[in-house]
Amino acid sequence: MLGTSSGKKVLVTGAGGFIAHHLTTRLKELGYWVRAADIKQPEYEPTKADEFMQIDLRERSNCAAACAGMDEVYHLAADMGGIGYISQSHAEITLNNTLMDVGMVEAAQRAGVGRFLYSSSACVYPQHLQHDADVVPLKEEDAFPAEPEEGYGLEKLYTEKLCQYFTEDYGMATRVVRFHNVYGPLGTYDGGREKAPAAIARKVALAATDGHIDIWGDGQQTRTFMYVDDCVEGIIRIMRSDYGLPLNLGTDELVTIDELVDIVSAAAGKTLEKRHDPTKPQGVRGRNSDNSRLRRILGWEPTITLREGIVPTYRWIGQQLGVATPQDVTPAHVAPEHRPYASARSAVA
């Protein structure tokens, strides 16, 4: 269990989005003074931040203004989305994220920030290690020799190295977190930027009880999925650790996309026919997180199972769509302070 802060001032970028909004709420619960920054306000509920700067972090002057006076920076701002978006927007994603990331790393160093956490991605891992559905779990050192996903993954890997160089050349303490597929309430669920759990939950919610669901690919591609509470817990633990190299943050509960559909359908109380479309983007064939280093460094790893986390996620998405859903169930084994935050609880109550 994480203790309270000593009154530090922290900046959370990307706080108009999913993970950073949850992180802001948790940091406030822990007693931090939080400045949030994003080009947009949170979509589904007001921020809990002490200050919200609605600014474009592609501008270097805005990065400097956001970092001014901060003890720590959690840099989660990114142009991103599901496989449909990131596979078709290489130029836009690479340009936007490069401008934000370079500007933020530089601004944090110039502002004398004590620690800087960068949110990277499992997309940095080589494509040739992810050709099989029964994939070998990816270790942090597997990122090199490099062959990341085009655009998004390549830029993330470059910025990981930039953080390393700023530590080596300027002594700025950096932390790098490689996210593996995060889901939960208050996340994007339509519009083209949603991830697989949210997209499938939306499709299941809108399907007739004895209807069908369209699935991208053949359904046998594999992934792991991490509930947002575990993600936020891991982010804060990694920031507080003394470890400065990249760390995976995900689960090692490997499932096929067809199995994910079955889990969401069970939460909805539906049995649906699966219709596969192999012409749609499906990303790498398989991806799994090796958590051995995370366990060794933190003495902790994500614990909320996919079946547990999907229930409040599906219920929240169903409510946004105006669809009746089964009663929400909060994972019983998770301590109260680490269950879905008060904001998410109110959204799914």
Q: 46: burial class by Cβ within 10 Å (0-12, 13-18, 19+)?
A: exposed
Is position 152 annotated as part of the catalytic site? yes
Q: 64: burial class by Cβ within 10 Å (0-12, 13-18, 19+)?
A: middle
Give me 22's structure tokens. 């949850």
Residue tagged active-site, from 74, 152, 183, 189:
152
The Cα 169–Cα 263 span in angstroms is 48
Question: What sign for the dihedral angle of Cα 46, 52, 57, 59?
Answer: positive
Give me 3's structure tokens. 């203790």
Instruction: With CA atoms as reference, report the closest residue to 129 among 138, 120, 121, 141.
Output: 138
Assess contact for 267 and 329: CB atoms under 8 A: no
Question: What are the φ and ψ backbone dihedral angles of 4, each rounded to 5 degrees?
Answer: -85, 165
The Cα 191–Cα 180 span in angstroms is 21
**Residues tagged active-site:** 152
